[in-house]
Structure 1
Amino acid sequence: MTRQELLQKSASLLGRFAYEVRVSNALGLFDINTIAEDLLVPIFATILDCPNIQNQNRIQMNYPAVDLGCSVSRISIQVTSDASSSKINETLEKFQSHGLDADFDRVLVYVLTERQRSYNSKALAATVAGLPIEFSISRDILDFHDLAQLIGELSNEKIQQVCDLLEGEFKKADANAKFRAELDAFLNVSGQKIEDEKRTKKYIPSVFVETSGTKEQMRFFAHPMFFHRKIDDALSRFSLEQFNELLRLAQIDEVHGDLPSLASLPAPKDLPDLRNRLTAQLEATTRLKDRVSVFSWYGEREERYVPKDYLTGYWTVFRHNVESNGSGVHRSLDEITDQINLALAKIFLVTGMAGQGKTNFVCDLVENQFRKFEIPTIFIPARKLNDFHGSNRIQDYIANNRFAPETRDIHELLAVFDEVAKECGKPFILAIDGINEVGDLDGFVSELRVFLDALCQYDFVKVIITCRNEFFDHKFAGVFEPEFANHLHRVQDLRNEMSEDNKTRLLRSYLDHFQIDVGLSSSAKEFLKNDLILLRIFCDIHEGKSIGDVPEIYKGDLFEAYLTMKIKEFPVSLQRVALASIYKICAGMLESGEFSQLQLDGFEGAEIEIVEKLIGEDIILRRELPTTGLASIGIENISFTYDEMRDFLLAHFVVFELAANAPEKVDQLFKAVTVWPIYEGFFRYAYVLARKNNCDGVIRSCEAFDDFDQHYLNNLELLSVDVQTENDVSRVRSLLRSLRVVNDIHHLAWTLFRKRDEAAPLNVQILADHLADLDDAALEKFVKAMFSSEHGYIDDRWKDRVSHLLKSLLGLDDDQQLGLGIPALAVALYFVPFARWDEREATKNLFSRRADEPVFRDAVSMCNQANSDSVRACKAEISGEQALA
């Protein structure tokens, strides 16, 4: 290219740059001015021959007067799109007032668009005259025409460098413009990934029931421009009037903080404006919360208000009211700051057990919520990252979309997404589901840390991440804490975020979707509502069936039925191989003492085929890749998806295979098992399976343990009716008499109370008989333990729980009360003396009113055996009321 062609090209590129700045500024898009500062650094370095020039704003935020500077050549440059005399004057005044002549001998003003033809301002002339350095209005105010002239003085090589710099920037800008034009197509590819999740039944829309609390949190996180108005509403309703009235009465200075005024700040024009607004609201709210915390029972502050000596009398009188009201104020401020922090957060982390609805939650968000609000989102099933190698799998996955922007690294990619977010006024969200499913976990931990570090540098790009609890605790916890703690919001268990109504709707949705006709007892409903993976297994087993009434559900029975069903899905020729393959996995884990994963290097072709099918369903088995990241079959690792099913299958192998074919190994195994992480789960199912299948050797091994009684107590509810014997009755009666630990009493008592099947050896009658043997002191101690929280006794709140139980009895209709049965109603009478007055009297009235009905009459009669004077008095009062009637 000739010199003339190079000069024409450079002038044309400089002109285009000035034109695009002018157009962007006219549209109110001023970020291009900031971008221009970085672009101009290498251009001025070439044109002015000062290779050490740098962006001063990268050294110090909002560096005064100038944007670029070189400490060697001592040249400084202000970059602006404002060509007015007042802007030039302001720049020079700031240069002088900040003493920048100590650092620079020359200041240039570069106008991004086009300089004025003349600068005749008297104020500007006066400022120039007073400068400690020389400044020429005609020489030192530049635009792209002046740059073109300076470029004309360069060598061909340097002119080419300038052209390459500008062409590279425009190429990137053009690629980004192309991406924006194809943004819908790009996002649609992500939507297709949701359809993949449906086809594999990882996402079943018809059984999704949203967690309302988490959905509310997500609103602030994902669409702050819309939902910040709820923050404004909370601020406008906030009042310190009542709190300050109490402070005045206690002779304490009032607390001031005008939060309602923060709600009337100008409406945000864009995301940067909103971010500044939220930051100001957060700072004011946090300051106020700190002042209130000394009068609150909450907060992180250890100090509490201490009155001056002469005011202690006032404080003694008003302290409780002040602290009570202050705690309410603090709680309100907490709710507001939580909402603001959510709006500002960068990372929304959802953790939980396997099969608890994390994928359904994220897929529903992307498909329904984000699509509705047109929030730009990329959905990434983390298992798909296994198809990419290297340290940039997230970027590589995104780049595999044919509509993806052309970027060299993660920062360029995030910068594009950040610009998209600012243009549409909504954050750009990456949703990465199931990071525990990335095979090279150790490598991905480092990769995720680098990715999050980059993401947190871009204000309007956010990420939603889901992970199984055990993987998060062991692999990823260190990634998020403490480095990203200020950017993070974590939901630790979606199930806990769901209301009881939502859990009930979810259960019904599952049964409807799988077309199951069943009558579930209340305990069976609770069992399924509180473990989604067990609900899924239950529905897979019974799909399309009518199974009648189900009074109890036992995990072991579910696991065994599911295993049987899965094995029968294989061709007959492979069914025995299928079970043997699962047993082979179990044997390998027990021999190695490693229960999180197992190598498949010793597996044959048919066994591999079976394992691959089970992995594909992701209920029994899941794939694990070794830390090297290689995916060859010879070194591939697998693990059981669900820890409790793993423990069941290990026990199944021991009871049905090892005990029959190598009993000596059973003894060795039981000697080693106490130090293994699977100890409790394995023991549970080994004992239950041995009882069901009369495997005496395993039963003896279990019962030989010193802590057998504790295991027996913990797993009593797993003993189904068909294996219960009179020996169990004797053992339970003995435990009731001997237990001293509150939590053990609590557990056993409630286990028996829930067993209403009077035909079963273990039922609530055993509890009623035990209560009858206790005198007043012993009965109160037992009931207190039964109704204590997991933290033990706290004042007399246990009596509130007794009252709550009786209130629930009173709330049942007549048939439901009769359905409880005689022993359960009798047990309720043993609780009556310890309830609050309202429930105590109402319960006695209930029994008196219905005393002619056989069930109620027999329940009262059972109390004839009571050793407790208070219970006998209660029974006499009920009978006496009957006589008066």
Structure 2
Amino acid sequence: MGDAVTRQELLQKSASLLGRFSYEVRVSNALALFDINTVAEDLLVPIFATILDCPNLQNQNRIQMNFPAVDLGCNVRRISIQVTSDASSSKINETLEKFQSHGLDADFDRVLVYVLTERQQSYNSKALAATVVGFPIKFSPSRDILDFHGLAQLIGELSNEKIQRVCDLLEGEFKKADANSRFRSELDAFLSVSGQKIEDEKRTKKYIPSVFVETSGTKEQMRFFAHPMFFHRKIDDALRRFSLERFNELLRLAQIDEVQGDLPSLADLPVPKDLPDLRDRLTAQLEETTRLKDQVSVFSWYGERDERYVPKDYLTGYWTVFRHNVESNGSGVHRSLDKMTDQINLALAKIFLVTGMAGQGKTNFVCDLVENQFKKFEIPTIFIPARKLNDFHGPNRIRDYITNNRFAPEAKDIHDLLAVFDGVAKECGKPFILAIDGINEIGDLDGFVSELRVFLDALCQYDFVKVIITCRNEFFDHKFAGVFEPQFSDHLHRVQDLRSEMSDDNKSRLLRSYLGHFQIGVSLSNSAKEFLKNDLILLRIFCDIHEGKSIGNVPEIYKGDLFEAYLKMKIDDFPTPLRRIALASIYKICAGMLESGEFSQVQLGGFSDLEMEIVEKLIGEDIILRRELPTIGLRSIGVENISFTYDEMRDFLIAHFLVFELNANAPEKIDEIFRAVTAWPIYEGFFRYTYVLARKSNNDGIVRACEAFDDFDQHYINNLELLSDEVQTEADVSRVRSLLQSLSVVDDIHHLAWTLFRKRDEAAPLSVRVLIDHLADLDDAALEKFVKAMFSSEHGYIDDRWKDRVSHLLKSLLGLDDDHQSGLGTPALGVALYFVPFARWDEREATKNLFSRKADEPVFRDAVGMCNQARSGFVRACIAEISGEQALA
């Protein structure tokens, strides 16, 4: 009797659970949440395995994506099952037709259709009846089309033990769903508090969505990092396309053993069902691609030179014949493998680090990611503006910031939090991401360095919690580089310059968006466009200065002039009593920073009421100053902490204070500052503006002090474009000519040469004419070396691909209309002729033809004339050919 009661209870329980399962599927489908059908497939595997005694039953879609006709299959019992929420006759008919057309009767002797919602009462379709008659295996709609009622009948035939197992499976799924539902409710509220921080960034105009233009390269990298479960399929696609056939054919011709590897098979591994499964799959793919890359490396131009392939003596002849083809093809194979391993490493990475100069769009990039990309894919994310961590005390600032949220889980330490987040990630199949923006804005940098190291160490112990961190370059190099390398190098992906990841078209679109958003009418020269396109902080300040104005033609823009104009604009808005002391109040902040050696923030103790009023007005704008709360507890009550909003403006203002205030009233302090400055994180920016302002104000003493620094030449090269025409002298021309002759570092040659190339005003001492005079003095070997450096990439020059970049530049010249070609000016066209000998054949001949056709136009004729004195035989031959073609014409 007891057994009978127990059985009855089990049957009632199983029927109730199946009914709930069917109801929730109907509700989810009504809400267009069709992924419930995929979840149902996985749940039904163990249930049907129990009911049908099919221990080998598996989800066919996990073996092969979009498996035809059926979803579940057992190759031992030869039973297959289609799982659908569509109960129509046409759906059943379609399933049977696909089953037959794909020849699945060779694998299965029975096919069932399980309707997740509820089957029709009858299936009298003539089309279905005809399909059943011709079906290669027996199929009965009344027997083989099931819903939860039919499943309950089958369960009624099972032993109590198996019924209990079915109940346990369903109950376990519902318990998890109920717990997830409760947790999801709190999680969504918890994450929405973080989302409010994005709105704060909008209000302060640190994030302006209407002027955001994505960096497509970095966005692609972020896809693999932040949503590997979805985007790992791109890796699979690359693996499937990979082939060693041509490379191995060349190896055989060179009498070298083939390279063994079958990457396409790695794409056909079982489809991952969760993040742990994906991690194992990616790890296996990484091991094999890395092993293969090591084999190919010896035949690649990218491999270590001392590891290059060396043939045995009797094979030297073969290698001589086939070496170039083998290494060329091997380099292509190596690049493909590099790309794949980079993508896999990104998917496995834990830390995504973005560094760059101030104002280069790091905050816009992160905010757009969180608000749009991560929200779209429902990736759980906490956004942390790092300056807000100043509201909390070390060593648990990150934990305390996160838990300062009424929906936060209880956590005694960071591990408690990370464990919760790791669990969320596993449940939703997406990493849990912490995005910490601007760690250079932490007041207690020394304290935060050790805190960040501990935090990252903890985070890396949890497989599916990841962090995005942004930092200004010089702060990273000065304070944080040692945190990330080498301890976390295996977990790290770094984007060193976010702006370099943007295409030129995207930068142009960004410039247009800014000018449109701020309603500015302006005609910018090409150099002014490039200037603003490549420095968002200046673009923003430029737009603030000129908002709503039509300012006509702008040939050149200088940073210091912008900062000065912006500050003057703000001060001019002050009432007269404040206007008189405004600059002195800013100088007082600068003095405090210099005295303390602390440049991220300064205390306002000792400021008068009028000075505080000025500070409050500037903080209200949040462009020059921003408020920072004290970090030293109760002792600091009543004392405000502030910092400069934009670091580069801070550097300018501190330099302005030294050149115009200290130089007049306390010159003895200047030597003291110059002795200390090389150890400061502001060194580069401070030096830049100190030198430029000293030049503009004819302060020879400070100029000489700057020139006495060991690394002055490097500063001079990096900041040459900041020297406006009116301060340039013949001494600058001599210095630049000397540098052009003596430089050996490719990056320096590249920077200096292109800086001169962009200076088209021949009336200025420093212009493109200085460059063309230098080119004229170079013989063939020296000219090739110089042009090679000008067209080098960040990877240096590999093989002769620098010539492709020469060709690309000439191709852009050829693509201009007549007016734009002439508008480049004689010296720029003359420089182009020095590039012609090193271009590919098509562009070389087309450029010579262009000059020959336009030889009667003054600008082209004079450009050819400028090159008549060239020392290079390459260039003289080019000029002779152009002149000869003209004579023949």
Report the TM-score, using the length of structure 1 for normalisation: 0.72
Of 234, 241, 248 in structure 2, the residue corresponding to residue 237 of structure 1 is 241
Summarize the Cα distance change of 1:845–1:674 in structure 2 as closer, same or farther, 3 Å threshold. Answer: same
Partner of 1:47: none
Summarize the Cα distance change of 1:663–1:385 in structure 2 as closer, same or farther, 3 Å threshold. Answer: closer
Pair 1:378 & 2:382 matched? yes
Aligned ranges 1:171-190 → 2 under 5 Å? 178-190=182-194
Q: CA deviation at 1:580?
A: 0.6
Aligned ranges 1:412-491 → 2 under 5 Å? 412-491=416-495
Q: Residues 524 and 553 of structure 2 are in contact (CA less than 8 Å); yes or no, is this contact kept in structure 1?
A: yes
Moved more, 862-871 or 734-743: 862-871
Q: CA deviation at 1:26?
A: 11
Partner of 1:648: 652
Q: CA deviation at 1:411?
A: 3.1
Partner of 1:526: 530
Listed as ranges, the gaps of 5+ residues in structure 2 are 1-16, 22-38, 45-157, 162-174
Q: CA deviation at 1:722?
A: 3.8
Partner of 2:741: 740
Summarize the Cα distance change of 1:631–1:236 in structure 2 as closer, same or farther, 3 Å threshold. Answer: farther
Summarize the Cα distance change of 1:672–1:780 in structure 2 as closer, same or farther, 3 Å threshold. Answer: same
Partner of 1:271: 275
Which one has the largest radius of gyration? 1
Deviation readout 1:407-454 (Å, 9 max, x if unpaired): 444333333333332222222222222233333333333333333333
Q: CA deviation at 1:364?
A: 1.0
* Whole-angstrom CA distance in 2 between matches of 1:799 and 1:290: 29
Summarize the Cα distance change of 1:407–1:730 in structure 2 as closer, same or farther, 3 Å threshold. Answer: closer
What secondary structure, in the 3-state scheme, does the structure 2 residue paired with 1:342 have? helix
Partner of 1:516: 520
Q: CA deviation at 1:685?
A: 3.3
Pair 1:206 & 2:207 matched? no
Pair 1:248 & 2:249 matched? no
Counterpart code for 1:418: D
Summarize the Cα distance change of 1:844–1:594 in structure 2 as closer, same or farther, 3 Å threshold. Answer: same
* Whole-angstrom CA distance in 1 between matches of 2:471 and 2:820: 42
Deviation readout 1:677-713 (Å, 9 max, x if unpaired): 7666545434543444455665676678899888666
Counterpart code for 2:501: E
Q: Residues 176 and 405 of structure 1 are in contact (CA less than 8 Å); yes or no, is this contact kept in structure 2?
A: no
* Whole-angstrom CA distance in 1 between matches of 2:397 and 2:557: 43
Counterpart code for 1:537: I
* Whole-angstrom CA distance in 2 between matches of 1:693 and 1:480: 42
Summarize the Cα distance change of 1:304–1:622 in structure 2 as closer, same or farther, 3 Å threshold. Answer: farther
Q: Residues 615 and 621 of structure 1 are in contact (CA less than 8 Å); yes or no, is this contact kept in structure 2?
A: yes
Q: Residues 754 and 790 of structure 2 are in contact (CA less than 8 Å); yes or no, is this contact kept in structure 1?
A: no
Counterpart code for 1:440: D
Summarize the Cα distance change of 1:685–1:339 in structure 2 as closer, same or farther, 3 Å threshold. Answer: closer
Q: CA deviation at 1:561?
A: 0.9
Moved more, 202-211 or 319-328: 319-328
* Whole-angstrom CA distance in 1 between matches of 2:431 and 2:614: 44
Counterpart code for 2:561: D
Aligned ranges 1:221-620 → 2 under 5 Å? 221-298=225-302, 303-389=307-393, 391-590=395-594, 598-611=602-615, 613-614=617-618, 619-620=623-624
Summarize the Cα distance change of 1:810–1:450 in structure 2 as closer, same or farther, 3 Å threshold. Answer: same
Summarize the Cα distance change of 1:797–1:708 in structure 2 as closer, same or farther, 3 Å threshold. Answer: same
Aligned ranges 1:17-32 → 2 under 5 Å? none
What secondary structure, in the 3-state scheme, does the structure 2 residue paired with 1:295 have? coil
Counterpart code for 1:251: Q
Q: Residues 226 and 430 of structure 2 are in contact (CA less than 8 Å); yes or no, is this contact kept in structure 1?
A: yes
* Whole-angstrom CA distance in 1 between matches of 2:298 and 2:862: 58
Deviation readout 1:326-362 (Å, 9 max, x if unpaired): 3332322222222222222222222222222111111
Of 857, 862, 866 in structure 2, the residue corresponding to residue 853 of structure 1 is 857
Q: Residues 659 and 666 of structure 1 are in contact (CA less than 8 Å); yes or no, is this contact kept in structure 2?
A: yes
Counterpart code for 1:450: V
Pair 1:191 & 2:186 matched? no
Moved more, 340-349 or 619-628: 619-628
Aligned ranges 1:99-178 → 2 under 5 Å? 178=182
Q: CA deviation at 1:819?
A: 0.7
Q: How many residues align?
A: 726
Summarize the Cα distance change of 1:571–1:226 in structure 2 as closer, same or farther, 3 Å threshold. Answer: same
Deviation readout 1:512-544 (Å, 9 max, x if unpaired): 212222111111111112222122221221222
* Whole-angstrom CA distance in 2 between matches of 1:779 and 1:247: 37
Summarize the Cα distance change of 1:482–1:837 in structure 2 as closer, same or farther, 3 Å threshold. Answer: closer
Counterpart code for 2:741: R
Deviation readout 1:582-612 (Å, 9 max, x if unpaired): 2123334455666565554443344344345
* Whole-angstrom CA distance in 2 between matches of 1:790 and 1:272: 39
Counterpart code for 1:816: H
Deviation readout 1:607-648 (Å, 9 max, x if unpaired): 344345545655444667787577826776655455543342
Q: CA deviation at 1:579?
A: 0.8
* Whole-angstrom CA distance in 1 between matches of 2:722 and 2:682: 17
Partner of 1:8: none
Summarize the Cα distance change of 1:456–1:679 in structure 2 as closer, same or farther, 3 Å threshold. Answer: closer
Partner of 1:68: none
Q: Residues 442 and 627 of structure 1 are in contact (CA less than 8 Å); yes or no, is this contact kept in structure 2?
A: no
Counterpart code for 1:506: L
Q: Residues 596 and 639 of structure 1 are in contact (CA less than 8 Å); yes or no, is this contact kept in structure 2?
A: yes
Q: Residues 860 and 875 of structure 1 are in contact (CA less than 8 Å); yes or no, is this contact kept in structure 2?
A: yes
Q: Residues 443 and 627 of structure 1 are in contact (CA less than 8 Å); yes or no, is this contact kept in structure 2?
A: no
Of 666, 685, 698 in structure 1, the residue corresponding to residue 689 of structure 2 is 685
* Whole-angstrom CA distance in 1 between matches of 2:187 and 2:624: 39
Listed as ranges, the gaps of 5+ residues in structure 1 are 1-19, 31-115, 120-170
Q: Residues 752 and 763 of structure 1 are in contact (CA less than 8 Å); yes or no, is this contact kept in structure 2?
A: yes
* Whole-angstrom CA distance in 2 between matches of 1:700 and 1:486: 46
Summarize the Cα distance change of 1:631–1:816 in structure 2 as closer, same or farther, 3 Å threshold. Answer: farther
Report the TM-score, using the length of structure 2 for normalisation: 0.71
Partner of 2:819: 815
Q: Residues 176 and 416 of structure 1 are in contact (CA less than 8 Å); yes or no, is this contact kept in structure 2?
A: no
* Whole-angstrom CA distance in 2 between matches of 1:674 and 1:487: 32
Identity in percent: 83
Q: Residues 775 and 869 of structure 1 are in contact (CA less than 8 Å); yes or no, is this contact kept in structure 2?
A: no
Aligned ranges 1:841-880 → 2 under 5 Å? 841-862=845-866, 875=879, 878-880=882-884
Counterpart code for 1:363: C
Q: CA deviation at 1:741?
A: 0.9
Summarize the Cα distance change of 1:618–1:413 in structure 2 as closer, same or farther, 3 Å threshold. Answer: same
* Whole-angstrom CA distance in 2 between matches of 1:173 and 1:393: 33
